[in-house]
């Protein structure tokens, strides 16, 4: 959905032609001059919000919005020299959020790569490079529910289910899943969902339904709908 949003170029500065894609797993084929953190053969996950490890944000325990490698949807080139690494017929094709994973090969800043265990199956752990870590982090690092709390998750896609897993790991006693698709309920149960609410089943706003269910409301709410900022 994130890639579709930027492909449609709604509410943004369009940068085309470009190679989209922001989630993947891969193997390092070669490294550039001065790169010491990785070697050819390493298994990695691309991360569109990278870390230079030196700025105030990277050194902070509260933020990962790196001054150098924070997400930038308008930049279509490499930071080092301002040039693209993709071309067709001699003309540049632009990068996307520093990853451009819809390609058999890509070039990524070393700060936007996370080294992983080579035994991890790339076709599964690729989800950790965005969807799973986004949802899990939204709960564990932002909402920070305490044991026994009631948590509501709005949107039960990959990000929402990961957020729900974070609520389960945190010890939430009641986890309310909210989604327009009733088929999501059975899957959500595997991630700790104790209650399911489909707004289409009610005539009143869903927040009022939840307040009535919980005798006053929830302790934490995590919205996992929309695009890359969910």
3-class SS of residue 174? strand
Q: Select the more confidently predicted residue: 125 or 227.
A: 125
Q: Could you tell me if 52 and 66 are in contact, meaning their C-beta atoms sit under 8 angstroms apart?
A: yes
In the predicted model, what is the mean pLDDT of the chain?
92
> What CATH class is the domain 130-221?
alpha beta
Q: Which fold has domain 1-128?
A: Quinone Oxidoreductase; Chain A, domain 1 (3.90.180)
What does the alpha-carbon distance between residue 225 and residue 230 come to, in Å, rounded to a whole number?
6
Q: What is the pLDDT of residues 175-223, one digit of tens each?
A: 999 999 999 999 999 999 999 999 999 999 999 999 999 887 788 988 8
Task: Considering the chain, tell me which residue range(s) the CATH 3.40.50.720 domain(s) occupy.
Answer: 130-221
Burial of 189 (0-12, 13-18, 19+ CB in 10 A): middle
**Gyration radius of the chain over CA positions:** 20
Q: Which of 171, 175, 170 is nearest to 224 (CA)?
A: 175
For 12, residues 6+ apart whose C-beta sits below 8 A from its C-beta are 6, 73, 74
Between 217 and 41, the higher pLDDT residue: 41
| Torsion angle of C-alpha atoms 173, 63, 23, 113, degrees rounded to 10 | -130
């Amino acid at each position: 959905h994130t890639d579709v949003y930027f492909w449609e170029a709604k509410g943004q500065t369009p940068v085309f032609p470009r190679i989209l894609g922001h989630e993947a797993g891969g193997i390092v084929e070669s490294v550039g001059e001065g790169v010491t953190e990785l070697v050819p053969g390493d298994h990695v996950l691309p991360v569109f919000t990278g870390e230079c490890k030196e700025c105030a944000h990277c050194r902070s325990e509260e933020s990962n919005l790196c001054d150098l490698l924070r997400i930038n949807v308008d930049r279509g080139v490499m930071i080092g020299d301002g040039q693209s690494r993709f071309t067709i017929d001699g003309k540049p094709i632009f990068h996307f959020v520093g990853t451009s994973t819809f390609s058999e090969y890509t070039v990524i800043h070393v700060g936007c790569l996370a080294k992983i265990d080579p035994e991890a199956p790339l076709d599964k752990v690729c989800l950790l490079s965005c969807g799973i870590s986004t949802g899990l982090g939204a709960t564990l690092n932002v909402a920070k529910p305490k044991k026994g709390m009631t948590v509501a998750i709005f949107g039960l896609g990959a990000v929402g289910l990961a957020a729900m897993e974070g609520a389960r790991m945190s010890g939430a006693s009641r986890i309310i899943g909210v989604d327009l698709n009733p088929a999501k309920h059975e899957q959500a149960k595997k991630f700790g969902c104790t209650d399911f609410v489909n707004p289409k089943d009610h005539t009143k706003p869903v927040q009022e339904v939840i307040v009535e269910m919980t005798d006053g409301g929830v302790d934490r709410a995590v919205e996992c709908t929309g695009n890359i900022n969910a």
